[in-house]
């Protein structure tokens, strides 16, 4: 195994022996005991099982490699993997302080860092097992504050909002989107004027397009109509790091459009925000987080648990969470990662996101220069959507070509490449006036450029797409 093919695995192999030795030295503080015979597995059997496991794991796509530019999938950084593995040997539970005193403190520290990132002067928050659960908690608090009012979100918002509103019994209203997939403010205003909306969910990085709602303008509407604002930054939240003056490409252009940067800065005024460290935060699954700007919402979490919360009079994380048992290893992994990659714009995690953003800009420029390809919309973050016109302008022909090239790229034995697909509705392609709509949706290519290595790899991605298009002609 070489660093060229698997740098993360090689780094883990280098660092693991010393780390395990330190862990073993700590465990040696307690007196020896014999592992019970019911727990013992012969080495030969364990090796055989692990060998079979590794064989079966080969039925996966190479998420770690820049040739994978499909879904929002990538492996964690090796520091996060090691930290998770080491903490997992103790298996702390961050529900209560006696279940994981060290990792509970780490969780408090990293959540405070996330709060500072978004501009919260005070906060209440914690890690979760996923962005879905994090959004559920934010919507649950919103419903608790306004039980008779609806939760509004755009038609491009993640489907989890509608689903979670069903779970908590909250009313919903869907807001239209503009030609770039962002919440339509005119439609929002009209529905606010009709009354009955208690919370508006805005998205900083939609799943399909990476679109960023105009959070600053929604805040202006809030001053007029008085509603709560929840920010779903599960995917794009960490791009707040680039929403400062001076973050530029090598050519001197701003990394984020001015309106996108303004939207990110306005998160500081929101009532709650969700971000998933297991996406752009380099973490293993599952590690989400939810933060509230007003700590007083903790009153909704109060519950009676006569068998926990005895080791300290301080607030236990389980007292401000809907989840019970949660892996302390997730907090350890994020804590260790942020020690290596701090939340700064000009270094650490910001430097990584700068490259993923530049990768999207680079590929968008190549697509616009290629007569065979068209962008759906200019990318706001690091997600690029495009389609090919080499078989004509009917939506059926374009969609068929998307499916053909998608499969051909993925199954090419010499140089496989992995993209994703997106079914775009006519409203998102209104500016593409020459399209001939003989289907209800248009299937386009979707590429999520989550790895900094994608910046250097974009020309290869582009070349392979053009080659497969030529072969499919």
Ordered by start, the domain boundaries in the chain are 97-340, 348-472
Q: What is the DSSP string of 59-112?
A: SS--TTSTTB-SSS--PPPHHHHHHHHHHHTT--BTTSGGG-HHHHHHHHHHHH
- CATH among 3.90.1150.170, 3.50.50.60, 3.10.20.340, 3.40.50.300 for 348-472: 3.90.1150.170
414 contact partners, CB below 8 Å, separation of at least 6: none
pLDDT digits (tens, 9 = 90+) for 244-301: 865 666 555 689 999 999 999 999 999 999 999 999 999 999 999 999 999 999 999 9
pTM exceeds cut of 0.75: yes
pLDDT digits (tens, 9 = 90+) for 412-460: 999 999 999 999 999 999 999 999 999 999 999 999 999 999 999 999 9
Q: Are 216 and 263 in contact (CB under 8 A)?
A: yes
Instruction: Return d(Cα 82, Cα 449) in angstroms, integer.
Output: 24
pLDDT at 2 over 60: no
pLDDT digits (tens, 9 = 90+) for 165-218: 999 999 999 999 999 999 999 999 999 999 999 999 999 999 999 999 999 999
What CATH class has 97-340?
alpha beta
Other Cβ atoms closer than 10 A to 465: 25
């Amino acid at each position: 195994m070489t660093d060229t093919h698997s740098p993360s695995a090689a780094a883990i192999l280098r660092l693991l022996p010393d780390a395990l030795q330190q862990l073993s030295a700590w465990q040696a503080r307690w007196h020896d005991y014999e592992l019970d015979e019911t727990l013992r597995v012969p080495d030969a059997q364990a090796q055989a099982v692990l060998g079979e496991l590794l064989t079966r794991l080969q039925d996966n796509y190479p998420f770690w490699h820049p040739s994978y530019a499909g879904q929002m999938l990538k492996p964690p950084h090796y520091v996060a993997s090691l930290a998770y593995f080491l903490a997992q040997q103790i298996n702390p539970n961050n529900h209560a302080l006696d279940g994981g005193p060290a990792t509970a403190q780490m969780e408090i520290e990293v959540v405070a860092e996330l709060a500072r990132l978004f501009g919260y002067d005070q906060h209440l928050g914690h890690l979760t097992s996923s962005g879905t659960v994090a959004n559920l908690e934010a919507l649950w608090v919103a419903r608790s504050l306004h039980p008779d009012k609806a939760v509004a979100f755009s038609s491009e918002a993640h489907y989890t909002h509608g689903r979670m509103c069903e779970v908590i019994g909250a009313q919903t209203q869907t807001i239209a989107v503009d030609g770039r997939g962002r919440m339509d403010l005119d439609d929002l205003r009209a529905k606010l004027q009709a009354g009955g909306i208690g919370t508006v969910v805005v998205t900083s990085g939609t799943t399909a397009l990476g679109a960023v709602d105009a959070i600053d303008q929604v805040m202006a509407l809030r001053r007029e109509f008085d509603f709560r604002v929840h920010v779903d930054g599960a995917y794009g939240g960490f791009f707040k790091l680039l929403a400062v003056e001076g973050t530029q490409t090598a050519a001197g252009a701003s990394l984020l459009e001015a309106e996108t940067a303004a939207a990110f800065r306005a998160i500081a005024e929101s009532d709650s925000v969700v971000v998933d460290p297991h996406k752009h935060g380099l973490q293993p699954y599952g590690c989400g987080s939810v933060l509230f700007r007003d700590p007083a919402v903790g009153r909704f979490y109060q519950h009676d648990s006569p068998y926990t919360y005895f080791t300290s009079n301080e607030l236990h994380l389980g007292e401000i969470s809907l989840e019970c048992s949660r892996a302390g290893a997730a907090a350890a992994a994020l804590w260790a990662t942020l020690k290596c990659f701090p939340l700064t714009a000009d270094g650490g995690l910001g430097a990584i996101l700068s490259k993923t953003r530049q990768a999207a800009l680079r590929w968008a420029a190549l697509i616009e220069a290629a007569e065979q390809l068209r962008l759906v919309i200019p990318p706001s973050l690091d997600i690029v959507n495009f389609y090919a016109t080499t078989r004509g302008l009917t939506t059926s022909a374009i969609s068929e070509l998307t499916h053909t090239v998608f499969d051909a790229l993925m199954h090419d034995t010499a140089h496989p490449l992995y993209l994703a697909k997106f079914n775009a509705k006519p409203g998102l392609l209104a500016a593409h006036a020459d399209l001939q709509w003989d289907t209800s949706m248009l299937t386009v290519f979707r590429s999520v450029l989550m790895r900094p290595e994608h910046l250097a790899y974009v020309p290869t991605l582009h070349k392979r797409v053009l080659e497969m298009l030529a072969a499919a002609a």
